[in-house]
């Protein structure tokens, strides 16, 4: 993960990032690559060079901005379920790509650090998928809970899901 630096007072304008001399900004860089700058603190997905981590962190970020106002009515719970299915699909795609890379390694590399890293990512992605899939996204209008309470509870559960691997 790239280290993010805060510059409190820009010495010059950076028009490509909308930063004017004197304004604060953030910068970070990956080894051997050009420095990236932004007025806003970069998202976690922007500070990693791994495509796999970019995708799973991006899903985390998307889960983090879920808001009840997007699903105001009980019939909108199907939209929530569809959106969550899309998130799971994105994780599965990243997981399958990682598994494919692992499978393409010869046995010696599979048993080494690279193989362990890839297999760990596959396993951690599955844990993330499992954590999402156990959340019951079927609202019961005859249940004891109001739709608003049920929805906020599901959103809280989804936002608690995170990727725990390397």
Residue 147 has pLDDT above 90, yes or no: yes
The CA-to-CA distance between both ends of the chain, in Å, stands at 10
User: What mean pLDDT value characterizes the chain?
Assistant: 95
Q: Quick count: other Cβ atoms within 10 Å of Cβ 158?
A: 20
Q: Can you tell me the mean pLDDT for 77-95?
A: 96
At 20-73, the pLDDT tens digits run 999 999 999 999 999 999 999 999 999 999 999 999 999 999 999 999 999 999
Residue carrying the six token digits 């990512």: 121
Q: Specify whether the CB–CB gap between 25 and 10 falls below 8 A.
A: yes
CA dist 24 and 161 (Å) reads 32
At 95-128, the pLDDT tens digits run 999 999 999 999 999 999 999 999 999 999 999 9
Residue carrying the six token digits 């691997």: 165
| Confidence at 6, pLDDT banded by 50, 70, 90 | very high
Residue 79 has pLDDT above 90, yes or no: yes
Cα 134–Cα 136–Cα 137 angle in degrees, nearest 5:
125
Alpha-carbon distances, residue 142 vs 9, 80, 148, 150 (angstroms): 58, 19, 14, 12
Residue 153 is predicted with a pLDDT of 96
CA dist 45 and 145 (Å) reads 35
> Can you give the pTM of this predicted structure?
0.89
Residue 166 is predicted with a pLDDT of 87
Residue 59 is predicted with a pLDDT of 97
Of 45, 82, 90, 89, residue with least CA distance to 66: 82
């Amino acid at each position: 993960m790239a280290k993010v630096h805060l510059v409190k007072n820009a010495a010059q304008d950076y028009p490509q990032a909308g930063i004017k001399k004197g304004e604060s900004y953030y910068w970070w860089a990956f080894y051997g690559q050009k420095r990236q700058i932004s007025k806003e603190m970069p998202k976690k997905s922007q500070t990693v060079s791994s495509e796999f981590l970019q995708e799973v962190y991006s899903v985390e970020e998307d889960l983090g901005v879920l808001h009840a106002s997007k699903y105001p009515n009980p019939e909108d719970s199907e939209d929530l379920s569809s959106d969550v299915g899309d998130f799971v699909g994105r994780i599965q795609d990243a997981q399958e790509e990682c598994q494919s890379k692992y499978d393409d390694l010869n046995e010696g590399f599979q048993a080494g650090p690279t193989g362990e890293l890839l297999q760990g990512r596959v396993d951690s992605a599955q844990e993330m998928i499992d954590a999402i899939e156990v959340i019951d996204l079927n609202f019961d209008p005859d249940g004891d809970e109001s739709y608003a309470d049920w929805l906020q509870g599901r959103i809280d559960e989804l936002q608690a899901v995170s990727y725990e691997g390397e």
